[in-house]
Amino acid sequence: MVSAELKRLAADNSAIRAMFEEGNNLALKYGRENVYDFSLGNPNFAPPEAVKKAIIDVLDTEDSMFVHGYMSNTGYADVRKAVADDLNSRFGTSFGTDNIIMTVGAAGGLNVMFKTLLDPGDEVIAFSPFFVEYGNYVRNFCGVLKIVPTDPETFQIDPEALAAAVTERTRAVIINNPNNPTGVIYTEQALAGLAAALERRSAEIGHPIYVLSDEPYRELAYDGKKVPWLTKIYRNTIVAYSWSKSLSLPGERIGYLAIPSEIDDFEEVSTGASISNRVLGFVNAPSLMQRVVMRCLKESTDIGAYARNRTLLYTELSKLGFECVRPDGAFYMWVKSPEPDEKSFVAKAKEELILFVPGSSFAWPGYVRIAYCVSPDMIKRSLPAFERLAARYGLQKKETV
């Protein structure tokens, strides 16, 4: 008695649940401290103390009817202004209040944009490997997801492949920068290629192609690397952001859409997004948390801790002989399976009580995703298990990486 789409989703879901339950069963059998769970993208570092201070400040200084009440569907004007100013100071943009819509996380923002843009049958392009939920978001509105592989060496966007995938029905392209699952930051050069390809193809098909840039990992960039700000490179860009990672607030569902005035049909698209926010049942981003993030725009969780995890894991696994993509951002490491069928690799890892996710869950078999948003201690404790796993494949150790 559920819809056909939900029947399909339920089948996928039971696979995920089975993996999760298997992890729980291992923890029950061997003790949770002996199971090395790298499967979840769930921040394992606390929010900065400033979050608690901000909540108490809001409660102590602002009227409770205002703090917990309705506001415009787009969010409190002062919060949107503060977010705009912060972006302007960081990226040289000139956003005002009307360019920011507060959303129920980035997932909410992406659904709002797809509801706004897609007629049934319209196409959205994603670059594999990618966060599979994108396909579900597009299908919510009867859109069609088209997958364009990234360069299999660098996992950077391939502009020619993108240009070839555009059709008359292409309405949007979604990118995730830094990327889940690869940890790659798309470079200025790759994004300039994307912009040139889309400008050419937009002109040819006779309507704009919007890029939705999903950036919950923006602040998680290492070695001084910068994540390019795409609205400066490609005019028809809309940014979806969430404080889930940068402030470790994933449960609070607080994010924004930045919609530059320069995009084609700005009025229609931004008004549409505000309406979609309402009719999809979000109505508005949670009110207290809007007022909290406004006070925490300069704050962040301990990014150094993620950087240390990343260096430790990359170095040690590379030394053991695993072929790892060096992560520049996010909290994921993308590792080549030592055997063609990465699901078999995942199964062998599980025998060593190590859990991670097969690449086929990101439309890219032959690799696995290791999430290092975990305690540094767990990484250290897991290394002997990784060493046994490497030994099973006879991997060649390296002295330096």
**Contacts with a second copy in 201-220 (CB under 8 A)?**
207-208, 210
Q: Does 55 bind a second copy (CB under 8 A)?
A: yes
| Smallest separation, CB 272 to a second copy (Å) | 4
Query: 63 near 226, Cβ under 8 Å?
Result: no
148 vs 273, which CB is nearer to a second copy?
273
- Using CB under 8 A, which of 4, 206, 340, 399 touches a second copy? 4
Span 88-117, contacts to a second copy by CB under 8 A: 104-105, 107-112, 115-117
Q: Does 32 bind a second copy (CB under 8 A)?
A: no
| Smallest separation, CB 25 to a second copy (Å) | 17
Please identify, among the stretches 23-31, 118-126, 217-225, 302-310, the one whose residues bind a second copy according to the rule CB under 8 A. 118-126
Q: Does 282 bind a second copy (CB under 8 A)?
A: yes
- Using CB under 8 A, which of 2, 224, 377, 400 touches a second copy? 2
Total residues in contact with a second copy, by rule CB under 8 A:
78
Measured between alpha carbons, how far is 284 from 290 in angstroms, rounded to an integer?
A: 10
Measured between alpha carbons, how far is 323 from 321 in angstroms, rounded to an integer?
A: 6
199 vs 387, which CB is nearer to a second copy?
199
Q: Does 314 bind a second copy (CB under 8 A)?
A: no
Site map 224..263 versus a second copy, x via CB under 8 A: ------------------------xxxxxx----------
322 vs 331, which CB is nearer to a second copy?
331
Q: Does 9 bind a second copy (CB under 8 A)?
A: yes
CA dihedral angle for residue 342, residue 348, residue 354, residue 357, rounded to 10 degrees: 20
Among all chains, which residue has been given the structure tokens 């060649």? 396
| Smallest separation, CB 100 to a second copy (Å) | 17
58 vs 157, which CB is nearer to a second copy?
58
Q: Does 119 bind a second copy (CB under 8 A)?
A: yes
